Structure 1
Amino acid sequence: MDQAFRSAHGVGLVDYQNNADLRIKIEMQRERDHEVGQQVAARLERQAHREV
C-alpha cells in the first residue's frame, strides 16, 4: 500500500500520516481530481445521450 501511495502522491504513507500540512495538501489535490473526474463523467454522459 505504501508503494501505491508513494507512486500516486510522491510521498510515503508514514510521511502523510505524520505531517498535517502535507496531508491537507494531498487531500485538497485528491478533492480537485475527484471534481474534475465528476465533470468529465457528466460531460460524457450528456454526450452519450445526445441525439444526432
Structure 2
Amino acid sequence: MHGAHGIGYEVYKRKHEVRMQVEKKREQDYKESRRMIAALDRRVHANI
C-alpha cells in the first residue's frame, strides 16, 4: 500500500477521504490499463 500509494494501510483504514482518493486513483489506473490493452489488441489483430 505504501509503495503504490504513499500511505500506510492504517491511514487508509482510518481516513475516509484518503480511502476515496486511493480508490479513485485505482479506478483511473484500471481504466487507463484497459485502454492500453485495447490499443495493443487492435494493433496485434490489424497486423494478422
Pairwise TM-score range, normalised by the shorter structure: over 0.9
TM-score normalised to structure 1 length: 0.88
TM-score by length of 2: 0.95
Counterpart secondary structure, 2:46? coil
- How far apart are the structure 1 equivalents of 2:33 and 2:18? 23
Q: Which structure 2 segments of 5+ residues have no match? A: none
Residue 20 in structure 1 maps to residue 20 in structure 2: no
CA RMSD of aligned residues (A): 1.1
| Runs of 4+ with deviation above 6 angstroms | none
- CA deviation vs aligned residue, 1:1-52 (integer Å, no higher than 9, x gap): xxxx101000000100000000000000000000000000000000000037
1:30 equivalent to 2:30? Answer: no
Q: List alignment gaps of at least 5 residues for structure 1.
A: none
User: How many aligned positions are there?
Assistant: 48
